[in-house]
Chains A and B, each alone.
Chain A
Amino acid sequence: MNHTDQPLKRTPLYALHVELGGKIVPFAGYEMPVQYPAGIVKEHLHTREKAGLFDVSHMGQAFLHGADPARAMERVAPSDFAGLKEGMQRYGLLLNDAGCIKDDFMLTRLKGEAALYLVVNAATKEGDFAYIADRLKGLATLEPRPDRAQLALQGPLAGRVLDRLSPGIDALTFMHVARAKVAGVDTIVGRTGYTGEDGFEISMANEDAEKVARALLDQPEVAPIGLGARDSLRLEAGLCLYGHDIDETTDPAEADLVWAIGKRRKTEKGFPAADKIMDRVLNGTARKRVGIRPEGRAPARDGTEIADKTGRIVGRITSGGFGPSLNAPVAMGYVETTYAGDGTKIDLLVRGKALPARVAPMPFVPHRYKRGAA
């Protein structure tokens, strides 16, 4: 996406990124660290082994007010938000009128609070907020919160580390959210993330972000992690990147995100293009999002064409790179549904050569969330 016509924004942690030696690049309209001096591979492996700290303040935060904001939000997304319990978060897909994906987001019902807490992607936040405000007019009011920053602490030691700065927080389990003090600062803490590891996302006022970040970086297990490793971690975890793996040309059925449609919603419907989407869920789609493992060591990037063994083009890669934890290239993309079975042999057309690969199950690296008792 080209943002050169607009001045780049900075998060409240920009000066800290520079101080830490971060290599700053433009991303989603912000000047963000793609890596620190350790480099992407070390940062990636550190997150899988210990705990990594990510600045995700560029994400769009908002509150949704109204008599029943959960029901209102169901007009633009197929999740069961009315059934979302207090203190819990749920994944959602923001749909356009064609039933394709405008964005993906997280919605939280905080304990004892009427308003819902919403987090959307950075590159799409202005459009999302305008769309939601318009579609929910008369039912709910959206309150964007650009005054809030967000950090992610990810990795197997994240619980131990955060509990030191926020005693008792380690009792939260996956997808649970609570207001809590972290290093003396008022925050919203969710046991969630985008790496496949256990971890937390921590929202706080912009002016408090550096205090919390420094308190976390002072812990011996924690290292700062840039956007490069954030991308390789989420790809190994099989998680979609909006604008690449899902966008306004893909629907929830072909994107293999049917789990994001609530059980009640499948019959009750009432979300954009519900009949079309449910028809595609039941009767199948022409193409499907799959995981791909190249057999050699050459990565295949976003946009790489996928061919069958006769050379016919049957799909395209939407995210591809190198997985440091697997020490091998990994990718995901869309293929004609007849090629979507695990183990199907395909070729990736990289620089004019057909590189052998196989369709493979995701996640490539198993998720290690700290789940609570059901």
Chain B
Amino acid sequence: MSETRYTEQHEWVRVEGDEGTIGITRYATEQLGDVVFVELPDVGKTIAKGGQGAVVESVKAASEVYAPVGGTVTAVNETLNGDPATVNAAPEEAGWFFKLKIADKGELASLMTEAKYQDYVKGL
């Protein structure tokens, strides 16, 4: 069983047990354009909720990706080092950025459900 929650900055976190997988949404990639480089965090790094988790670079600009929940980085998506365009091709699947061991699952309560996020994007 997994559930996915969303932020207003267009990050998603898919929660399975204590682990959260984090990436950016289709809407975010459409705004960014072609992703050419992703700077991933070091495994073992502790990131607070809202702290910088990754940096995604398009041809035009760099954008920060914030952690939707706090925790310790357990894995990063090495695929993105060789093929950053995976973020555009499959932002909510193969284009994930990093995994966290979530410190406090209570932080998930402040994030949007998929239905709420879809409504939020429609209003933009």
- Interface size of B in residues (CB-CB distance below 8 Å): 14
How far is A329 from B36 in the complex, measured between Cα atoms in Å? Answer: 9
Distance in angstroms between the alpha carbons of A34 and B33 in the assembled complex:
10
> C-beta contact mask, B84-123 vs A, less than 8 Å → 1, else 0?
1000000000000000000000000000000000000000
28 contacts between A and B (CB under 8 A): A34-B60, A35-B33, A39-B34, A40-B33, A40-B58, A40-B59, A41-B34, A42-B34, A44-B59, A228-B33, A228-B59, A228-B60, A231-B60, A232-B59, A297-B36, A297-B37, A297-B81, A297-B84, A298-B37, A298-B57, A299-B36, A299-B37, A299-B62, A322-B36, A322-B37, A322-B58, A329-B37, A351-B55
CB <8 Å contact, A40 and B39: no
Answer whether residue B61 sits at the interface, using C-beta atoms and an 8 A cutoff. Answer: yes
Chain A: number of interface residues, binned into ranges: 20 to 34
Chain B residue contacts of A40, Cβ below 8 A = 33-34, 58-60
Q: Which residues of B contact A299 (CB under 8 A)?
A: 36-37, 57, 62
A301 interfacial contact with B, CB 8 Å: yes
In chain B, what residue has the closest Cβ to A297?
A: B37
Which residues of chain B are near A297, meaning CB under 8 Å? 36-37, 81, 84
Complex-state Cα separation, A231 to B57, whole angstroms? 16
Which A residues form the contact surface with B (CB < 8 A)?
A: 34-35, 39-42, 44, 228-229, 231-232, 297-299, 301, 321-322, 324, 329, 351
Tell me if B62 and A322 are in contact (CB < 8 A): no
A314 CA / B84 CA spacing, docked (Å): 31
Chain B neighbourhood of A231, CB < 8 A:
60
Q: List 18 other contacts, CB 8 Å, given A44-B59, A228-B60, A297-B81.
A: A35-B33, A40-B60, A41-B34, A228-B33, A297-B84, A299-B57, A299-B62, A301-B61, A321-B59, A321-B60, A322-B36, A322-B37, A322-B58, A322-B59, A324-B59, A329-B37, A351-B39, A351-B55
- Residues from chain B with a CB closer than 8 A to the CB of A329 are 36-37
Min CB distance A226 to B, Å, is: 10
Q: How far is the CA of A231 from the CA of B58 in the complex (A)?
A: 13
Complex Cα–Cα for A324 and B84 (A): 13
Chain A residues near B60: list those with CB within 8 A. 34, 40, 228, 231, 321
* Residue of chain B at shortest CB distance from A324: B59
In the complex, chain B residues whose CB is within 8 Å of the CB of A228: 33, 59-60
A301 touches B33 (CB 8 A): no
Q: Please encode chain B, from 35 to 49, with 1 for each CB lying within 8 Å of some chain A CB and 0 for all others.
A: 011010000000000
The residue in B34, B55, B84 that gathers the most chain A C-beta atoms within 10 A of its C-beta is B34
Within 8 A of A (CB), among B59-78: 59-62
CA A44 to CA B33, docked complex, whole Å = 13
Q: Which of A41, A44, A232, A298 contacts B39 (CB 8 A)?
A: A298
Residues of B within 8 A of A321 (CB): 59-60
A321–B57 alpha-carbon span in the complex (Å): 9
Q: Which residue from chain A places its CB closest to the CB of B61 in the assembled complex?
A: A301
Q: Which chain B residues lie closer than 8 Å to A232 at the CB level?
A: 59
Q: How far is the CA of A39 from the CA of B85 in the complex (A)?
A: 12
Q: Which residues on the B side are within 8 Å of A39 (C-beta)? A: 33-34
Q: Which of B55, B57, B81 contacts A322 (CB 8 A)?
A: B57
Residues of chain A within 8 A (CB-CB) of B55 are 351
Q: How far is the CA of A21 from the CA of B59 in the complex (A)?
A: 19
Q: How far apart are B123's CB and chain A's nearest CB, in angstroms?
A: 19
Report the minimal beta-carbon distance from A155 to chain B, rounded to whole angstroms.
18
Q: Which residues of B contact A42 (CB under 8 A)?
A: 34
Closest beta carbon of chain A to B12's beta carbon, Å = 22
Nearest A-chain residue to B36, judged by Cβ: A322
**CB-nearest residue of chain A to B88:** A39
For A34, the chain B residues whose CB sits under 8 A away are 60
Question: Can you name the residue of chain A whose Cβ is closest to the Cβ of B64?
Answer: A351
Measured between beta carbons, the chain B residues less than 8 angstroms from A298 are 37, 39, 57
Contact residues in A for B34 (Cβ distance below 8 Å):
39-42, 324
Q: In the assembly, what is the distance between CA of A321 and CA of B61, in Å? A: 8
B39 CB contacts on chain A under 8 angstroms: 298, 351
Nearest chain-A residue to B84 (Cβ)?
A297
Which residues of chain B are near A41, meaning CB under 8 Å?
34, 36, 59
CB distance from A352 to the nearest CB of B (A): 11
Chain A residues with Cβ below 8 Å from B33 are 35, 39-40, 228
Expressed in whole angstroms, the minimum distance between the Cβ of A296 and any Cβ of chain B is 8
B84 to chain A: which residues have CB within 8 Å?
A: 297
Residue of B nearest to A294 (CB): B37
Q: How far is the CB of A123 from chain B (nearest CB, A)?
A: 17
Residue of A nearest to B34 (CB): A41
Closest B residue to A23 using CB positions: B33
